[in-house]
Amino acid sequence: AQSVTQLDSHVSVSEGTPVLLRCNYSSSYSPSLFWYVQHPNKGLQLLLKYTSAATLVKGINGFEAEFKKSETSFHLTKPSAHMSDAAEYFCVVSDQLDTGNQFYFGTGTSLTVIP
Amino acid sequence: NAGVTQTPKFQVLKTGQSMTLQCAQDMNHEYMSWYRQDPGMGLRLIHYSVGAGITDQGEVPNGYNVSRSTTEDFPLRLLSAAPSQTSVYFCASSYAFSAEAFFGQGTRLTVV
């Protein structure tokens, strides 16, 4: 079975500074990996996904993530934080069961952006 | 295109009551699933379905039932609500393995 570890439960950055949200996973296959964002009282929105193509994945709103198989990591970055980036971020691994796919969620990282 | 629609958005139940959370998608996705979100625990899978007539249990299925009579709808039933079921519930759908999941806006359920 897969597992996902988000290494920081809270991250705080100043507006205009870089963002790094860390994610490690365990997998016995070539996984599909995702980052989702959840703004307060909202549903989850896909930021980006990795599905065994390019290891550097670009997503929406200036976010990107790099898949590093040797480190089993899929860290999310953004060069310059904006106030609107304040939200909860989830790293997700997709596994294929005999009868379909299942998503495994990390416990989330809450991003605070300080003006 | 509505995507994934969940109703209701908010619900308060008394212990022992039953209710159904509705989920509908208009993307013709085969895979649908229900998750609950609790503080510090991410999202945990309750039940999922790989197509009409096929359902299976996820990580935390106790106290919940599902059925999938059509591709579009995947209701979640709480048989006898308990305070431990106070949570935010999300329905999701996807068209295939390794495909992104589309989520509804969530149902915030409080059991008193």
Q: For position A19, what pLDDT does the model report?
A: 98
List per-block mean pLDDT (blocks of 10 residues) for chain A, which spans 115 residues. Answer: 87 98 84 91 89 86 94 96 96 71 86 97
Rounded to the nearest angstrom, the minimum Cα separation between A114 and chain B is: 22
Put simply, whether B87 touches A (Cβ < 8 Å) is: no
- Chain A hits for B54, CB-CB cut-off 8 Å, are 99
Average pLDDT in chain B = 92
Do B90 and A44 lie within an 8 Å CB cutoff?
Answer: yes
Residue of B nearest to A48 (CA): B100
Tell me what percent of the residues of chain A surpass a pLDDT of 90. Answer: 68
Instruction: Tell me the Ramachandran region of residue A12: left when phi exceeds 0, alpha when psi lies from -120 to 50, beta otherwise.
Output: beta
Report pLDDT for A31: 78
Q: What is the pLDDT of residue B36?
A: 96
pLDDT of residue A32: 85
pLDDT of residue A41: 80
pLDDT tens-digit profile of B60-75?
A: 999 999 999 999 999 9
Q: Higher model confidence: residue B1 or residue B68?
A: B68
What DSSP string describes B50-99? EETTEEEE-SS-TTEEE--SSSSB--EEESS--GGG-EEEEEEEESSTTS
Q: Give the per-residue pLDDT at A98.
A: 52
Cβ–Cβ below 8 Å for A102 and B50: no
